[in-house]
Structure 1
């Protein structure tokens, strides 16, 4: 009988799903990826997808990894799942989706929700957070569905995150990981469980407790692969399904960080900086620290919502030559942009970019827009591209400083994962902007590796998370900051970048008042 020594991770992203097989040393043994259209839009700003698209991609990826790669199924010890965050699925009593999933990218709003009354209402007014609460209510997908599709909501047996839906398809049970609970749900982020009955969150959403799945801590068994799922996916029936966490949380431990002094940057569609903390720390008041992939821990995070999506924006709007070259060479257009900017000096000759292409809740405010200042006749599209990378690094450095102030723990080193981490130029630029050593993990698939770490601990292949992270992760390329370049960036950051939003904010408000974009939330 073959030894059960391999770990299957399923990583469901925004544009693809990957099936990944690791060994207990963190080595990637096999990988299969299934691409799909990220979403469709019935109306401007909407982002929806048929939930069965995700399940079919999971089935196809798993069948391919066993059949095409020749992996012995009997060697798989367990499976875990990590997914994009904040995507929600309504299912009926038979587990069938009642409507398309609403993705995290969706921008619809549900304005006009009644403000909280009673003591909670007084509390939010007194603390100056009533506007933030109104924003949260308007962003809550369940509110929009209940108001605009009441028949769908009346038939909703369970209201699940994408992770909960796929775990249901795998096990036949309505179960999910504590580590995956990132969304507008009545979840107590501090205590890492569903909120208590008196909590204000239950009054902001129409969800009942029995519409939510049972939660299990990361590293614990959620259930086992059902007969039906085994038939559809090729995963052995009865294989334990281990609770992992959302993609960003898995990236943190997959990058090798369990210490709050190590900042983990994710250069993905949403760019983030995260640290792991035992303490619950809100980096922005009322915006929570999310669950970690390690039980009992939190991942303290600051986001730049559009992040490295801006690279794709640049490609579509200004990158036609690279797109043409990519078609001829078979190299991704994004990989050619490093050559485009190799001769652009640090600081982009004074071109400064504020990467608020999509407004935030409190940081920046909902009126925020992107801005580029400092243009001269010397500037080209190459300078614009470098200023995008620099602007994202400035914004994440600002997030780092916010986390340090709130946690009172200095961040002394960086790990970088996500698609943008494959650019040497982007990582050297990051080291120079932050003035910190910056490390690319040994493996690109940090989210899937983090899920595999959860599986390894849950199955006893490693005794604890510290041992597992040490055994399964290791540093790859290291980028040291150049002192003179850091001095340049430091001056631009403090004397220009950090002043831009405050100076431009009144103009952003005027633009919104005149044009109506972005839409102003209720007061």
Structure 2
């Protein structure tokens, strides 16, 4: 029996929670996945979940993990938690949830908020970012709660992210990682701390400092497993709980992207491109980079909302045949969809898709919609499926160029994580569109591995992040660009894709006005 230490990583995603045991070389010893309903919606556009669903899933996952071969509770050195970003929980003085958690997917907004005034308001007008600030206020969960549930807001003792809730349940301490602070909160992204006392965010969001928990840098100790948590989960009492980071930040580390020249693509519900930077870089002016999993570092990010959700949409709307066959053959529908596009050439015979299915603050603008051009009678549903994969790669390449331009560091290689990374076709398309070698990490569980990497440094199993990433991450299959395909994609990207949004934008605005009854 090995005396080698083990690290417990808790990874709470949107659709499931995973408990994972890693060794100091990044080997996944065992894992348990507990799925749950992603959310429930009392009204259209809402997305909520009972916080106890997350905690119960954590308990079940851990208690099951102890039964898996190779997992040794007596060998555990520590535990780290990573979660979905931007999901908030209201807690009372006893740490009990006062209402369902509001998820990052929630689309409720609050109108009629008073603009930020004073010197800050003047500066926002001069800088032409008043609309961005108003967008933040309209989408902030704290504003909605104060407006629609004022009594509950008054009873709130702590207003925390999901990571803060789970860390509290494990340690009994209202504390969370700096690396997990992604959401509509008064956080100073440049200073990597709560905003200063005179910062405009406090008034704009209506949050008092006492409502927030203590922040701890990644790799530092948050606390220890309490008696109660040990009894519930089976995690040994007193085991150190190390501050990790949000799931995307952990994915970047787990994929081996520690330097700014290595881009990390996440092919998940939201498709993203991230890098790790030692300096503060705003890829989009006035939109801050998020905290990285490395203390004092930043993760510039470009998001394509509803990214690989488009694959799920395609399956629901056009993939009935593959879904039925997958059940009969015992293989995932994506395997059959891969066959559907196997013989379709790069560029989908001229069918081009821009994946702006959800508007953004600045990129794309609030009027954005998805666009598909180039249809002919020869195109099939297979062409549309391939055009979706290509469109996402085009959008992320545009993000890559924006990040590299702003940081002045070229991105020379790619790592791909998330559900879409399991598709060989998607990774070859990515390599061809970017014109860069594209690697799949050695494990699919990059978010959990990233949390384990952070914990390994905090526990002293590795002396620093460079060593930890080198020892614990390994490349899987590498996809090199096919020169002929790369040339074709480059021409389509430069001559067509980059022009689509600018030319279609006036039409998107007209669509909105007509459908809103403003004109016509």
TM range (shorter): over 0.9
Q: 2:30·2:68 contact (CA, 8 Å) conserved in 1?
A: no
Paired position in structure 2 for 1:156: 156
Output the CA distance in 2 between the equivalents of 1:111 and 1:402: 32
Q: After the TM superposition, which segments of 4 or more aligned residues of structure 1 sit over 6 Å from their partners? A: none
Q: 1:17-96 to 2 correspondence within 5 Å? A: 17-69=17-69, 71-96=71-96
Match of 1:421, SS state, is: helix
1:297 maps to 2:301? no
Which residue in 2 is equivalent to 1:133? Answer: 133
Three-state SS of the structure 1 residue aligned to 2:478 is strand
SS of the aligned residue for 1:34 comes to strand
2:135 and 2:225 mapped to 1: Cα distance? 39
Moved more, 16-25 or 323-332: 323-332
> 2:381: which partner in 1?
381
Write the mapping of 1:214-229 to structure 2, written as runs, cut at 5 A.
Answer: 214-229=214-229
* Aligned-pair Cα RMSD in Å: 1.3
Provide the rounded CA distance (Å) in 2 between the counterparts of 1:227 and 1:516: 57
Q: Deviations over 1:173-216 (max 9, x none)?
A: 10100000000100001010000011111121111111111111
Distance (Å, rounded) in 2 between the aligned partners of 1:505 and 1:459: 51
Looking at structure 2, the residues matched to 453 and 516 of structure 1 have their Cα atoms a distance apart, in angstroms, of 50
Residue pair 2:39, 2:47 contacting (<8 A) in 1 also: yes
Q: Are residues 1:230 and 2:230 paired? A: yes
Whole-Å separation in 1 of the counterparts to 2:413 and 2:195: 35
Contact 1:359 1:369 in 2 (8 A): yes
- Distance in 1 (CA, whole Å) between partners of 2:137 and 2:357 is 22
Counterpart CA distance in 2 for 1:175 and 1:516 is: 45
Corresponding residue SS for 2:275 = strand
Residue 484 of structure 1 deviates from its aligned partner by 1.1
Q: Aligned-pair distance for 1:69?
A: 3.9
Once the two structures are TM-superposed, the CA of residue 71 in structure 1 deviates from its matched residue by 2.3
Q: Say how many residue pairs are matched.
A: 518
1:250 match: 250
Following TM superposition, by how much is the alpha carbon of 1:2 offset from its aligned partner in structure 2, in angstroms? 7.9
Deviation string, structure 1 residues 442-478 (Cα, Å, up to 9, x no partner): 1111100000001110110000000000000111111
**Residue in 1 that maps onto 2:348:** 348
The match for 2:453 is: 453
Q: Distance in 2 between matches of 1:7 and 1:116?
A: 46
Q: Which residue of 2 is the match for residue 400 of structure 1?
A: 400
- Contact preservation (8 Å) 1:4, 1:76: no
SS at match of 2:300: strand
1:116-515 matched pairs, under 5 angstroms:
116-515=116-515
Tell me by how many angstroms 1:68 deviates: 4.2
> What's the secondary structure of 1:123's corresponding residue?
helix
State the TM-score, normalizing by the size of structure 2: 0.98
Secondary structure, in 3 states, of the residue corresponding to 1:204? helix
* Distance in 2, Cα, partners of 1:254 & 1:273: 14
Deviations 1:418-465 (A, max 9, x none): 110011110010000000011111111110000000111011000000
Could you list the per-position Cα deviations for residues 16-73 of structure 1 after superposition, in whole angstroms to 9, with x for gaps in the alignment? 0000000000000001000000000111111100010000000000000002446221
Q: Shift of the alpha carbon at 1:371?
A: 1.1
2:78–2:240 CA contact under 8 A, matched in 1: yes
Does the CA-based 8 Å contact 1:22-1:30 persist in structure 2?
A: yes
SS of 1:107's equivalent in the other structure is: coil
1:115 alignment partner in structure 2: 115
> Contact 2:22–2:29 (CA<8 Å) still a contact in 1?
yes
Q: Which moved more, 1:59-68 or 1:387-396?
A: 59-68
Q: Which one is further off, 321-330 or 55-64?
A: 321-330
How far apart, CA to CA, are the structure 1 residues paired with 2:177 and 2:314? 36
Helix, strand or coil for the counterpart of 2:33?
strand
Distance 2:411 2:460 in 1: 31
Contact 2:179 2:249 in 1 (8 A): yes
Contact 1:19 1:62 in 2 (8 A): yes
* Counterparts of 2:511 and 2:426, CA distance in 1: 32
CA distance in structure 2 between the aligned counterparts of 1:223 and 1:2, rounded to whole angstroms: 27
Q: 2 CA distance for matches of 1:485 and 1:4?
A: 47
How many angstroms apart in 1 are the aligned matches of 2:68 and 2:119?
60
Contact 2:6 2:21 in 1 (8 A): yes
1:198-240, CA deviations, whole angstroms, 9 ceiling, x for partnerless residues? 1111121111111111111111110001111111111111100
Contact 1:4 1:74 in 2 (8 A): no
The 2-side partners of 1:198 and 1:119 are apart by 11
Tell me the TM-score normalised to structure 1 length: 0.98
Residues 2 and 74 of structure 1 are in contact (CA less than 8 Å); yes or no, is this contact kept in structure 2?
no
